[in-house]
Amino acid sequence: MIGNVQNIKGKIVTIRCRESDLCFGCLNHRCKEQSRLIAAKNSKALPLVLGQIVEVKAASSVLAKQIAAALVPPVLGFIAGFTVFGLFFPEAGEAPQVFCGLAGLFAAAFIVYRIRRHFPAQDLEVSYPPQIKDPSDKEMEVKDR
């Protein structure tokens, strides 16, 4: 994502992202509510100034951790709900077990959502200068304001 530096507090940089083609299909309403403001780390201690154009990136390992953190707890919630109901009510059948598994899935997903809302990830890294592709597929640098 490419955006402008809005605020700098130590190593945490607040960036207003520019709308891109990726925003079209995004369901992150929180991003849209906050006018596309995101927080990112400046772990390389780049000399940034307000209004500067920067690129924000997330490493593949960070994305993998975020996907695992979003998917594993709900799956475990389903397994727990399905199994626990089956242990306490073995003669109830499979349909109530599935219902309790789904309840566990939604409960775990809601808990993950609430935790992520109160403790947002700050695994994004600021890099400069941003690299963008022009229509002729050549890489070019975006100049400062």
Q: How many Å is the Cα radius of gyration of the chain?
A: 21
pLDDT on residue 41:
80
The number of residues making up the chain comes to 145
Q: Which residues of the chain have pLDDT under 50?
A: 130-145
pLDDT on residue 10:
84
CATH class of 1-58+124-145: mainly beta
Phi, psi of 144, deg, nearest 5? -65, 160
Looking at residue 142, what DSSP letter applies?
Answer: P
Residue spans of the domains in the chain: they are 1-58+124-145, 60-119
Cα–Cα distance for residue pair 21/35, rounded to 1 Å:
16
Instruction: Identify the H or E element spanning 66.
Output: helix 60-88
- How is residue 82 written in tokens? 């399905």
**Whole-structure pTM over 0.75, yes or no?**
no
Tell me: the pLDDT tens digits for 93-133?
899 999 999 999 999 999 988 887 777 655 556 655 544 33
